[in-house]
Amino acid sequence: MEHKGFTLWFTGLSGSGKSALADLIARDLKKRGMKVERLDGDIVRQSLTSDLGFSEEDRIRNIERVTFVAKLLTRNGVAVLASFISPYNKIREYSRKEIGDYILVYVKCSLEECMKRDPKGLYKKALAGEIKQFTGIDHPFEEPDNPDIIVETDKQSIEESKEIILKALEQMGYLPNNN
């Protein structure tokens, strides 16, 4: 089904649920017959941006490159689901300006809960000093000052968060009519 392209951009701490939510929504949008692509920090950092580290400068470069890809896909009618910590307001606004049809989702979750989940064991390593420049531990995360959607994954189920996002997309006119 023809639909307008957009980038749904998930920002949040490691372990907040960006990838889990983006994967779930990708499945849902595909079922509706939409053209969908996923861009995920962990995967992009093994390919497109494998030369980059986690300094402020490299985090910005990482997002700049991904934004370039998201922009091309978006203007070709793809629903892009991008999941990146993307910790700075300045780079989030850069992506918004470049992509245009950009919807920022703040995947809000307390650092305590993220550390408890620790799905990849990274907080443990960061606390032990084995990983440096880890967001929330020894590197900053700026709360988004201009999110379009906020989900609170330490208070909602993943299904509830998904419904909030889909409803918002529908209200913004990004979902094709089901009739």
Ligand X SMILES: Nc1ncnc2c1ncn2[C@@H]1O[C@H](COP(=O)(O)OP(=O)(O)O)[C@@H](O)[C@H]1O
List, by residue number, the catalytic residues: 86
Told to check if 86 binds Mg ion by CB under 5 A, we report no
By CB under 6 A, the residues from 33 to 72 that bind ligand X are none
Q: Which does 144 bind (CB under 5 to 8 A by kind): ligand X, Mg ion, none?
A: none
Q: Which does 7 bind (CB under 5 to 8 A by kind): Mg ion, ligand X, none?
A: none
Which range in 19-27, 59-67, 73-81, 160-168 contacts Mg ion by CB under 5 A?
Answer: 19-27
Q: Which is nearer to Mg ion, 19 or 49 (CB)?
A: 19
Count of residues that interact with Mg ion, criterion CB under 5 A: 2
> Distances from the Cα of 171 to the Cαs of 6, 49, 167, in angstroms?
14, 34, 6
Q: What is the DSSP letter of 134?
A: -
Told to check if 153 binds Mg ion by CB under 5 A, we report no
CB neighbour burial string for 86-103, b if at least 16 within 10 angstroms, e if fewer: bbbeebbebbbeebebbb
Q: Which is nearer to Mg ion, 1 or 43 (CB)?
A: 43
The C-alpha atoms of residue 7 and residue 60 are separated, in whole angstroms, by: 18
Told to check if 12 binds ligand X by CB under 6 A, we report yes
The C-alpha atoms of residue 110 and residue 155 are separated, in whole angstroms, by: 10
